[in-house]
Amino acid sequence: MTKSKLVQTIAICFTAIFTLSACAQEHKKNEDLLKINAIALQHTVLLNNQSSAIPLDSLDQKKIASVSLGFIYQSTFDSLLNKYAKITSFNSSAYTASPELYKLEDDLKYYNTVIISISDLDAKNARYINFINSVSKNKEVIIAAFGEGTVLTALDAINSPLIWSQQKTINAAAIVPQLIFGGIAASYKLNGNFSGKYTLGSGYHTSATRLKYTIPEDAGVNADDLLEIDRITAEAINAKAAPGMVVLVAKDGKVIFNKAYGNHTYGGAPDKITDIFDIASVTKITATTPMVMRLVEENKLKLDTNIGAYIAMARTTAMNNIQVKEVMLHQAGFIPYIGFHDGVKATDHSPDSSAAYPTKVADGYFIRKDYFKDVMWPQMLNAPIRTRGKYVYSDISMYVMKDIVEHISGEPLNDYVAENFYAPLGMQTAGFLPRNRFSREQIIPTENDTYFRKTLLVGYVHDQGAALVGGVSGHAGLFASTNDLAIMYQMLLNKGTYGGKQYLKPQTVETFTARQSTVSRRGFGFDRWDPDLTKRYPSSTASPQTFGHTGYTGTAVWVDPSRGLVYVFLSNRVNPTVTDKLVKMGIRSRIQDVINKAIDKGKTNSAFN
């Protein structure tokens, strides 16, 4: 293979990391790619960062635009930016009728942060330099410059943070966005004098604070050892265990695998890694439990206090004396399940919205006002307490915890977690009620409900009880993509820190994720590795430190601190109707075993090298 063809192949493989081609999984090509990336990084320098604007922080306070001033790899550049925060893209080529780019500048009026990419040749264009100077006057501007050092000369009078890559390649286009957000640390300095300001030795250092998007070899894993994931997912889809699925693997803070398989529905649109899934009971540890953790830290909620201290309606019921920690451990004695939808009467719902029927359960299905307060909540409050002290998994637990945390915080669960976790973390899809924010095409359909809502469920929670309360519940209702879940669980793997911000204290994370029960494997809210090795749960190779949760719709998130691992599996195994094949075939567990063995093999090989 000639050098030019090798470079072309490497570039194609690099693109494949983000477009899901199998090419990126070939070990030898990945090793070559790592060398290319290392060289690109060595020729990339952070300048003008005296205010420590890079890495970007306070993502919940930023509305970010990405502007290309002729950069040819802008699509790759923007795709990486969008993994960290919501970015709106603009290209100067669309503004040829505006010689001074006034129209482009006007279109940026609603954005407070503007990331501008420009190459050395385009920096000679006075029109572009004038545009940068003008936008910099009243907005936070970050410049990504590519090519020969002449680009620095052209930008000498500009004081905005600037990342310069000497390369104008697709590799550099994927590296610079990660430097901007802290997925990769800046550590190199200028090796010569380029202008009056940009002199030999100039450059700033930063730390890696967010996920890096890379290839398995970058984390010591042989990509060939992950190929079995393709075969297991194909087996699942062929057996109709689920029409599609997305798998993500992050190792040591690096996303080394993120791939979509199958389709939204059998014969439907192909799954994409950006698709949004109903994550079912993973809601418990991605929404409700983090809120509990934060309130415990603030001494507003105590785990050894009784339910009645927080819920007035419980004080005359058998719930009154049950401790919060018993609820979080599924040891409160609650019955496992109440089929709320079975009790819905014809007069309780309407096909149209009105003041009397305000709560949307699905398209063409609205439940009457106060149905939860009048019917569902009394049923839970007065349900028999039968097995207190024993482990009995019950969704009632998280209905109760939602009510407790909302009473204490004075804020709805969905608003609280979005404001305190999802938005500042840069999670773009995670949240309740996705149809209020996204198109149907971005959301994976769940069941074709023929017995309750009589419709294909797209963006409405599959769980019937959560649907009847309007889609926001403590046990189900959250929707998310794999990338968003990776961010959340990397924060927990980091013991509460992400993007340079502390969301939870290390001791809080350790307490909640550790085994806290004498009668089960459970932590507070979190499911864990089962010490009964015959159960092989969550997989036969999972370490005793592993924590996470599964979801009824065919989802799972597992964190293994001993391996530095975050594993996310999302599917819609309930489409078109519920099937237990995903569980019986052990799809999630088998994929986890493949990942664990690949990581362990990489450690062994490293020890002998």
**Residue with token string 């307060």:** 373
Q: In this model, does residue 609 exceed pLDDT 90? A: no
d(CA 28, CA 293) in angstroms, rounded, equals 44
304 and 409: one domain?
yes
Mean pLDDT, range 18-32, rounded to an integer: 66
Helix (H) or strand (E) holding 593: helix 587-608
Going by C-alpha positions, the residue among 128, 17, 113, 112 that lies closest to residue 68 is 128
337 and 468 co-located in one domain: yes
pLDDT at residue 576 in the model = 98
* Residue 288 to residue 268: CA distance in whole angstroms: 33
| Model confidence pLDDT, tens digit, residues 347-377 | 999 999 999 999 999 999 999 999 999 999 9
Q: Is the pLDDT of residue 248 over 50?
A: yes
Rounded to an integer, the average pLDDT of 231-241 is: 98
pLDDT at 279: 98
Residues 405 and 501 in one domain: yes
Asked if residue 47 and residue 34 are part of one domain, the reply reads no
**Mean of pLDDT values over 551-577:** 98
Q: Indicate the pLDDT class of residue 20, thresholds 50, 70 and 90.
A: very low
> Is the pLDDT assigned to residue 287 strictly greater than 70?
yes
pLDDT reading at 14 higher than 80: no
Q: Which domain holds residue 11?
A: 1-39
The token pair that represents 352 in the structure block: 């149209």
Residue 319's contacts (CB-CB under 8 Å, 6 or more residues apart) are: 307, 308, 311, 332, 381, 385, 400
CA 507/CA 489 separation, integer angstroms: 16
The confidence score (pLDDT) of residue 608 equals 66
| Residue-level pLDDT at 510 | 98
Within-domain flag for 585: no
Is the confidence at residue 125, as pLDDT, over 80?
A: yes
User: Is there a domain that residue 433 lies in?
Assistant: yes
Within a domain: 594: no
pLDDT tens for 459-474 read: 999 999 999 999 999 9
21 and 117 in a single domain? The answer is no
Q: Residue 203: which of 258, 177, 151, 165 has the closest Cα?
A: 165
Q: Is residue 70 one of the residues assigned to a domain?
A: yes
Mind listing the pLDDT tens digit for each residue in 372-383? 999 999 999 999
Cα–Cα distance, 270 to 263 (Å, whole number): 4
Looking at residue 292, its amino acid is V
Q: What's the pLDDT at 502?
A: 98
Please name which of 554, 592, 590 lies closest in space to residue 571, comparing C-alpha atoms.
554
Q: What is the mean pLDDT of residues 192-198?
A: 93
pLDDT band at 604 (very low <50, low <70, confident <90, very high): confident
Same domain, 558 and 462: yes
Same domain, 416 and 517: yes
Express each pLDDT in 34-78 by its tens digit: 999 999 999 999 999 999 999 999 999 999 999 999 999 999 999
Same domain, 47 and 120: yes
Which residues is 250 bridged to in the sheet? 255, 566
Question: CA torsion angle for 489, 495, 497, 502 (degrees, to 10)?
Answer: 120
Residue 3 pLDDT exceeds 50 = no
Q: Is the pLDDT score of 231 beyond 50?
A: yes
Number of Cβ within 10 Å of residue 327's Cβ equals 26
What are the residues facing 207 on neighbouring strands? none
Q: What is the DSSP string of 233-284?
A: HHHHHHTTS-SEEEEEEEETTEEEEEEEEEBSSTTSPBP-TT-BEE-GGGHI
| Percent of all residues in the chain with a pLDDT value above 70, rounded to a whole number | 95
3-state secondary structure of 166: coil
User: What's the pLDDT score for residue 4?
Assistant: 44
Specify the amino acid at residue 321. N
Q: What is the DSSP letter of 306?
A: B
Question: Does residue 476 fall inside a structural domain?
Answer: yes
Per-residue pLDDT for 278 more than 50? yes
pLDDT more than 90, % of the chain: 94
User: Which pLDDT does position 18 carry in this prediction?
Assistant: 45
Overall number of domains in the chain: 3
CATH number of the domain where residue 484 is located: 3.40.710.10
Please list, in sequence order, all residues whose beta carbon lies within 8 angstroms of the beta carbon of residue 514, skipping any fewer than 6 positions away.
523
Q: Is the pLDDT of residue 395 over 60?
A: yes
Q: Inform me whether the pLDDT recorded for 13 exceeds 70.
A: no
What's residue 25's pLDDT?
Answer: 55
Please say whether the beta carbons of 200 and 191 come within 8 A.
yes
- Residue 293 and residue 176 share a domain: no
| Structural contact between residues 431 and 342, judged by C-beta atoms closer than 8 angstroms | no
To the nearest 10°, report the CA torsion of 6, 12, 18, 23. -70
Residue at 66 is within a domain: yes
Residue 10 has pLDDT above 50, yes or no: no
Is 285 inside a domain boundary?
A: yes
CATH number at residue 178: 3.40.50.1700
The three-point CA angle 141-419-494 to 5° equals 80
Give the closest residue to 332 by CA, choosing from 306, 311, 301.
306
Residue position matching structure tokens 């009457």 = 368
Assess whether 20 and 73 both reside in one domain: no
Whole-angstrom Cα distance, residue 211 to residue 568?
Answer: 14
Q: Does residue 218 sit within a domain?
A: no
Gap between the Cα atoms of 210 and 574, Å rounded:
33
Q: Output the pLDDT for position 538.
A: 98
Contacts of residue 129, defined as CB under 8 A and 6 or more positions apart, other chains included, come to 123, 154, 155, 158
Query: Does residue 180 sit in the same domain as residue 202?
Result: yes
Same domain, 19 and 76: no
For 556, residues 6+ apart whose C-beta sits below 8 A from its C-beta are 282, 538, 548, 549, 550, 567, 568, 569, 588
